[in-house]
Amino acid sequence: MAKYLLCLILFFAWILSIEARLPNRVKTEGPIQYYEFLFLFDTSVSVEQKEIHLHPFFSRYYNYEKAYYFNTFLYPLYYYHGTNYWRTWTFLYLFNGDEKYNRTEKTEGEYVLTPLFYWGYGDNEKEQFFSFFPFYGTVKDKLSWEEIHFVMFPLYVSWKYKGYQAHSILWPLILWGGDGYKRRDLRIFPFYSSKVHQGKYDHKTFLWPFFQWGSDDLDKKDPRHFFMFFPLYSQKRSESGSMYAYSILYPISLVSWGRDQKAQSFDFRFLWILFQYSKSENPYIRRWVIFPLYAHYVFGNKELPYYNEMNFYLILMGNLKTESALIQSNYQFFLPFWSHYYRFYPQEQVTTTSWKLWPIIHYWDEENAYGWRVLSLWPFPDDFFEKNWGTFYSIVEYAKHENQDKYFSMFLRLFSVRWNKQYDDFNLFLAGFYYKNSPYQFEINFLGGLLGFSKTVYSKKEQIPLYFYPKYASLLNEDEKESKYYLHFLWFKF
């Protein structure tokens, strides 16, 4: 149980430390055209961006300036995002797609239902393949191999990379392969196996896993040799003695220890994962574990381009830190009740923070915008989940946006207002009734637009709505503007 919980924590930590900073909502200094209908629907439109939510079924965001978009359907059931040059999508994180484009046509892509179905397509033969696991198929550029072919897996499998090719019957029991020159592999499991690359490594097993021995780094000055008599004893040493490692009762490791002078490292473990201590200078690593009370892990130095640190207390409590050229992040948690993250993007000079006291409140802050919501039923930090499902449990909500728009709602958005003093814009939503008043736009409707009336001021010459261009509108004379009136009926304008 503890293992799966730790994996879950690390998964959400990975989400928080995604290095590419991509937009996920309308951010602008100019006016935003906003509309909502209770907790079911809302849309935000600016000159260069558009966002729409049909909660919780569908959401879409498009940034015309960056040519970036994302779409969700019953998130996390289905999600995809991309630009004019690439697109990735996932269905329950099992069925994945990755597509790339050039300026005129699609060049390559894949459809994946892991591990059952692979279909690759593209402009050349290398990008074209098909597999239907476990019956028949070929996949390319997967699992570090150039090509993998199978028939009624595990009855027959073959794989190759450059000049090397291997075949297996009843994988992994019987295997043979090589490149006809330096590499030779043979396995008749569990009786005997040999894996040889002349001048690099030589591995042998007999009655696996009881007897294993071999050599590595044969092309280097200080080759390494290993021997194992499972499960009583195992060892690995370099010829010079500068590196060594020993283990008693492997893999439980009643006790194990080792040192590497080249890496300036030392490792000691007692009772498998219960007690661990590691220290290395090249690469820089620090690890200290007293399971399940405490765990500390550091990879990289703060003075180096990349630094990562993890601390856990009783598994449920801890913090994760990352520093790189693209992102600096700090995530603290006491699951499921408390979480807080801080992210700074050096290239954009942008800072974002968020904290959650589950299930009471969620707060977020991003440069010149911030907001909070009561309640917050999802215990983990996930912007897309909050956007798509949060309206269904929103008792009170407040937000202030980059353009100085302010928003307040109560009781699943039964009542909400959005206003902006700078642009003299006011919006009122009350149980399906909508009222909007601004210098260049007026609207009133009922039942989410079933019936209503609106007035919009345009420029006569360009025929553009002046609501989005207040500075330009202030330069026009009254005879350079015109007002258009609309009747709303059955969600259409006349």
What is the reported pLDDT for 490? 82
Angle of CA points 346, 352, 353, to nearest 5°? 135
Counting every residue, how long is the chain?
494
Q: How far apart are CA 436 and CA 417, in angstroms?
A: 10
The secondary element (H helix, E strand) that includes residue 389 is helix 383-389
Q: Of the candidates 412, 407, 445, which has an alpha carbon nearest to the alpha carbon of residue 426? A: 407
Q: So where are the chain's domains?
A: 190-279
Contact 321, 339 (CB under 8 A): no
DSSP tally for the chain: helices H, then strands E: 3, 44
Q: How far apart are CA 439 and CA 473, in angstroms?
A: 10
CB-based burial, 64-77: b 16+ in 10 Å, e otherwise: eeeebbbbbbebee
What is the reported pLDDT for 112? 59
DSSP 386: H
Contact 449, 488 (CB under 8 A): yes
* Residue reference for tokens 């009772």: 271
What is the reported pLDDT for 5? 45
What is the reported pLDDT for 67? 87
Q: How far apart are CA 59 and CA 72, in angstroms?
A: 5
Q: Where are the beta strands (DSSP E) in 133-254?
A: 136-142, 145-151, 156-161, 164-169, 174-178, 183-188, 192-197, 201-206, 211-216, 224-229, 233-238, 243-248
Retrieve residue 172's tokens: 């992994």
What is the reported pLDDT for 6? 47
DSSP 465: B
**At residue 466, what are phi and psi to the nearest 5 degrees?**
-75, -10
What is the reported pLDDT for 130? 84
What is the reported pLDDT for 20? 52
Name residues whose C-beta falls within 8 Å of residue 43's C-beta, 6 or more positions apart in sequence: 33, 34, 35, 36, 50, 51, 52, 53
Burial (Cβ within 10 Å: 0-12, 13-18, ≥19) of residue 111: middle
Retrieve residue 134's tokens: 């476990």
The secondary element (H helix, E strand) that includes residue 387 is helix 383-389
- Letter for the amino acid at 278? S
Name residues whose C-beta falls within 8 Å of residue 489's C-beta, 6 or more positions apart in sequence: 450, 451
| Helix-, strand-, coil-residue percentages of the chain, each rounded to 5 | 10, 55, 35
Contact 28, 48 (CB under 8 A): yes
Contact 116, 98 (CB under 8 A): no
**CA atoms within 13 Å, Cβ hemisphere of 152:** 3
Retrieve residue 25's tokens: 């909502």
Structural Rg of the chain based on CA atoms: 30
**CA atoms within 13 Å, Cβ hemisphere of 259:** 5
Q: What is the pLDDT tens value at each position of the chain, 494 positions in all?
A: 444 444 444 444 444 444 456 777 899 889 999 999 999 999 999 999 999 999 999 999 999 888 899 999 998 888 888 888 888 888 877 777 777 765 555 555 665 565 677 777 766 776 777 888 889 988 887 777 889 999 999 999 999 998 999 999 999 999 999 998 999 999 999 999 999 999 999 999 999 999 999 999 999 999 999 999 999 999 999 999 999 999 999 877 789 999 999 999 999 999 888 999 999 998 899 999 999 899 999 998 777 778 899 999 988 899 999 988 888 899 999 988 999 999 998 888 889 999 999 999 999 998 889 999 999 998 888 888 899 999 999 999 999 999 999 999 999 999 999 999 999 999 999 998 999 999 999 999 998 888 999 999 999 888 899 999 988 888 888 888 899 999 988 878 88
What is the reported pLDDT for 115? 62
* Residue reference for tokens 């005129």: 104
Name residues whose C-beta falls within 8 Å of residue 98's C-beta, 6 or more positions apart in sequence: 86, 87, 88, 109, 110, 112
Q: How far apart are CA 135 and CA 113, in angstroms?
A: 15
- Letter for the amino acid at 409? S
- Letter for the amino acid at 157? V
